[in-house]
Amino acid sequence: MSHTAELEYTPAVAAATLPIYEHVKSVIPEFEWPVHAPYIEAINRLKRERNAVILAHNYMTPEIFHGVADIVGDSLALARKAAETEADVIVLAGVHFMAETAKLMSPEKTVLMPDMAAGCSLAASITGADVRLLREKYPGVPVVTYVNTSAEVKAESDICMTSGNAVKIVESLGVDRVICLPDQYLSRYIASQTDVEVIYWEGSCEVHERFTGQELRDYREQFSDIVIVAHPECPEDVLKEADFVGSTAKMINYVGEAQPKRVLLVTECSMSDNVAVEYPNIDFVRPCNLCPHMKRITLPKILAALTELSPAVEIDPEIAERARVSVERMLTIG
């Protein structure tokens, strides 16, 4: 019998998922829970049968992030923890490049991507051929590539970086000049934090580039006590208005440590919901820019992937071998 055949909100399902709902009820309305709960119960049961773990990025919706995920975090955390898990199957609740990175770090495991069309504007902005042309234009200059890229691009790079460790990675190379790919705003932020000359590519995140400095100034006029916490993929005028700039993990840590009365997280909208669950005493102002790619991942698609053990991510072995070196170099530095 199909695992998806009987998905009703029964008293048994309600009882099994009640602790989860009690945790998330501040961000998921009560009338929505009967829709989510049968999938959450079925997924949590099936993943044990499959010896599977679900990795969820901070931008997943709360019913995924808090309801079925075993490991949550930003790209670096997911890359690290994917390699450490004892599971046979990894389900990546995020976007395609994250699933590729999990496969690079766990080549012997089955890595499932609930929707193969969940892409990324940054990953789509550059190809391996582009990197080879840059190497011809700037011979000898190290290529530092954001993890938000395809395995093909990682394979053409010297080392990877995340928004959390970018400056550390660049300065670890001990050179005067680097090529940073593909996010122009992250690259400019790196350049503002180091003496190393940064050559950048003009890629951008379709979520973060929509924020503006004027938008943040308007929020400050409306809320005099607001604390603004921004992701370095945002444009420069946004970062200048922010009280703190950091990766999603650093943003979350900052909120937990500073405990502002009112905060605005300048990043993908769902992260505010996920963090608000942990800090009910903080007022989260939500400028809701959604990532259409992240939102392709849903509970029904996660259940279908686990049921069918498909679609599975595969990488050409030659590309995987070279791409893995770039990721491992990053993980060695931290």
Q: What is the chain's pLDDT, residue by residue, as a tens digit (334 residues)?
A: 344 446 999 999 999 999 999 999 999 999 999 999 999 999 999 999 999 999 999 999 999 999 999 999 987 788 788 778 889 999 999 999 999 999 999 999 999 999 999 999 999 999 999 999 999 999 999 999 999 999 999 999 999 999 989 999 999 999 999 999 999 999 999 999 999 999 999 999 999 999 999 999 999 999 999 999 999 999 999 999 999 999 999 999 999 999 999 999 999 999 999 999 999 999 999 887 899 999 999 999 999 999 999 999 999 999 999 999 999 999 899 7
Q: From residue 294, how far is each of 10, 76, 92 by CA, in Å? A: 29, 17, 11
d(CA 145, CA 12): 48
pLDDT of residue 197: 98
CB 113 within 8 A of CB 311: yes
pLDDT of residue 334: 76
d(CA 230, CA 232): 6
d(CA 229, CA 242): 6
pLDDT, tens digit, for every residue of 112-144?
999 999 999 999 999 999 999 999 999 999 999
pLDDT of residue 184: 97
pLDDT, tens digit, for every residue of 37-80?
999 999 999 999 999 999 999 999 999 999 999 999 987 788 78
Closest-CA residue to 112 (of 58, 66, 51): 51
Per DSSP, the residues of 260-324 read -SEEEEES-HHHHHHHHHH-TTSEEE------TTGGG--HHHHHHHHHHT-SBP---HHHHHHHH
pLDDT of residue 6: 65
pLDDT of residue 83: 78
Nearest-10 crossing angle of helices 11-24, 33-50? 100
Phi, psi of 270 (to 5 degrees): -65, -25
- Domains present along the chain, CATH in parentheses: 11-118+294-308 (3.40.50.10800), 122-204 (3.40.50.10800), 208-285 (3.40.50.10800)
Q: From residue 85, how far is each of 54, 70, 73, 89 by CA, in Å? A: 11, 10, 15, 9
Q: Position of tokens 């582009």? A: 130
Identify the sign of the CA torsion 177, 182, 184, 187. negative
pLDDT of residue 4: 46
Phi, psi of 143 (to 5 degrees): -105, 115
And the tokens for 34? 């009967």
And the tokens for 71? 């490991």
Phi, psi of 16 (to 5 degrees): -65, -30
pLDDT of residue 259: 97
Tally of CA atoms within 13 A in the half-sphere of 12 that contains its CB: 7
